[in-house]
């Protein structure tokens, strides 16, 4: 059986990020998509929140990071999010996408995608 995942799609967060002064003048909206592998199949039968990853807690951690840190680049922000979530939730695999919408003319969104760990 494949490892079950939890996911968060299109989470909007506000943060100060960017290289240019005009980007850093005001908080920007980032869009975050995250997939995390569960480290146990126990949640398939237990029906207890302690046997899974609580996505509300995950969302709170992401909001805390984006509201308490500023970066010029998306890459160190993504790295901090992944490292924090890995330490707290002990997930064997994560995929994180961070998008900056409408930052370039005629481009809907730009961003980064990081994967960490092994998905089984």
63 φ, ψ (degrees, to nearest 5): -60, -40
Among residues 9, 50, 100, 116, the one annotated as catalytic is 100
Active site residue 100: yes
β-partners of residue 96 are 34, 114
3-state SS, one letter per residue, for 32-79: EEEEEECCCCCHHHHCCHHHCCCHHHHHHHHHHHHHHCCECCHHHHHH
Q: Among all residues, which ones are annotated catalytic?
A: 100
């Amino acid at each position: 059986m494949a490892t079950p995942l939890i996911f968060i799609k299109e989470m909007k967060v506000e943060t100060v990020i960017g290289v240019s002064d005009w980007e850093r003048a005001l908080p920007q909206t980032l869009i975050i998509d995250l997939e995390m592998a569960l480290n146990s199949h126990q949640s398939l039968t237990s029906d207890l929140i302690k046997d899974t990853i609580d996505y509300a807690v995950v969302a709170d951690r992401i909001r805390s990071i984006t509201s308490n840190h500023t970066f010029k680049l998306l890459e160190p922000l993504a790295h901090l999010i992944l490292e924090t979530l890995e330490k707290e939730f002990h997930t064997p695999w994560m995929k994180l996408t961070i998008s900056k919408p409408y930052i370039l003319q005629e481009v809907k969104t730009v961003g980064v995608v990081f994967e960490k760990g092994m998905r089984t």
